Structure 1
Amino acid sequence: MELRHRALQVLCLAHPDDKASAALALYVQADQHTIATTAPIPPADPQALPGRPERPELLHHTAVRRRSPATPEGRAILLHAIAHIEFNAINLALDAIWRFDGMPTAYYLDWLRVAAEEAQHFGLLRDLLRTQGHDYGDFPAHQGLWTMCEKTQHDIVARMALVPRTLEARGLDATPLIQQKLRQVGTPDALAAVDVLDIILREEVGHVAIGNHWYRWLCARDSLEPETHYTALVQRYEAPRPKPPFNAAARRQAGFTEVELAWLLHAG
Structure 2
Amino acid sequence: MELRQRALQVLCIADPQLKALQARELQGSAASFSIASDRPAEPREPIPGRPSRPELIHPSQVARRSPFKAEGLAALLHAIAHIEFNAINLALDAVWRFDGMPDAYYLDWIRVAGEEALHFTLLREHLATLGHAYGDFAAHDNLWSMCEKTKDDVVARMALVPRTLEARGLDATPQIQDKLRRVKTPEADRAVDILDIILRDEIGHVAVGNHWYRWLCEREGLDPVAHYDVVARRYDAPKLYPPFNEAARKQAGFSEEELRALSSSPGAGAPG
| Alignment TM-score, normalising by the size of structure 1 | 0.98
Residue 104 (structure 2) aligns with: 106
The one-letter code matched in structure 2 to 1:242 is L
For residues 199-238 of structure 1, give each alpha carbon's deviation from its aligned partner in whole angstroms, at most 9, with x where no partner exists. 1000000000000000000000000000000011111110
Residue 6 (structure 1) aligns with: 6
Residue 55 (structure 2) aligns with: 57
Residue 81 (structure 1) aligns with: 79
Q: Shift in Å at residue 64 of structure 1?
A: 0.8
In the alignment, structure 1 residue 38 sits paired with structure 2 residue 38: yes
Residue 236 (structure 1) aligns with: 234
Give the Cα separation in 1 of the matches to 2:253 and 2:31: 28
Give the Cα separation in 2 of the matches to 1:67 and 1:248: 28
Structural RMSD (CA): 0.8
Give the Cα separation in 2 of the matches to 1:217 and 1:176: 30
Aligned pair partner of 1:96 in 70, 82, 94: 94
Give the Cα separation in 2 of the matches to 1:250 and 1:205: 6
Q: Which runs of 4+ in 1 moved over 2 A?
A: none
Give the Cα separation in 1 of the matches to 2:5 and 2:202: 25
Q: Shift in Å at residue 68 of structure 1?
A: 2.4
Residue 140 (structure 1) aligns with: 138
Residue 199 (structure 1) aligns with: 197
User: What count of residue pairs does the alignment treat as equivalent?
Assistant: 266
Residue 179 (structure 2) aligns with: 181
Residue identity (%): 66
Name the SS of the counterpart of 1:200 in structure 2.
helix
Give the Cα separation in 2 of the matches to 1:250 and 1:76: 26
Q: Shift in Å at residue 69 of structure 1?
A: 1.0
Residue 28 (structure 1) aligns with: 28
- 1:187-266 superposed matches below 5 A: 187-266=185-264
Residue 66 (structure 2) aligns with: 68
Give the Cα separation in 2 of the matches to 1:259 and 1:71: 42
Name the SS of the counterpart of 2:42 in structure 1.
coil
| Alignment TM-score, normalising by the size of structure 2 | 0.96
